[in-house]
Amino acid sequence: MTFGQCKFAWINEGVSVYVAGQLDKYSMPKEFNGFLDGKKIYQESGNAIKLIVDNFGKKTLFEFLKAQSGIEKSEDLNVIFEDIFKAKLDYSFFNRLKDKSAN
């Protein structure tokens, strides 16, 4: 699966954990609070990708992956994310998805 270049570790590692079927190694966090800042990459990013797929579908995830290819600045990634998901790229977005999935 090739989506171009990605500078953001949470995307690379999140997709890798998700596609490799390794989510059982990293349970859903009680609260997302580190992966966007380069912390808890493995513990959180795979589940973040899972929430995107579960709530928006693989097609939308692929759209995001293609759109972010070659992006180097977080500000530019934020614009793409907001355009595709109609929400800001922040922890509260993922925590809302997690809470919605729990109900």
Which of 19, 18, 17, 14 has its CA nearest to residue 32?
A: 14
Q: Which residues contact 10 (CB under 8 A, 6 or more apart)?
A: 35, 36, 38, 41, 44, 45, 48
The pLDDT assigned to 102 comes to 75
**Rounded CA separation 25/59 (Å):** 25
Contact (CB, 8 A) for 16 and 35: no
Higher pLDDT, 103 or 77: 77
The pLDDT assigned to 2 comes to 46
Tell me the per-residue pLDDT of 22-55, one tens digit each, with 9 for 90 and over: 999 998 999 999 999 999 998 999 999 999 999 9
The residues spanned by each domain of the chain are: 9-102
**Rounded CA separation 29/98 (Å):** 9
The pLDDT assigned to 1 comes to 44
The token pair at 66 is: 């293609």
Mean pLDDT of 66-93: 95
pLDDT of 3 above 90: no
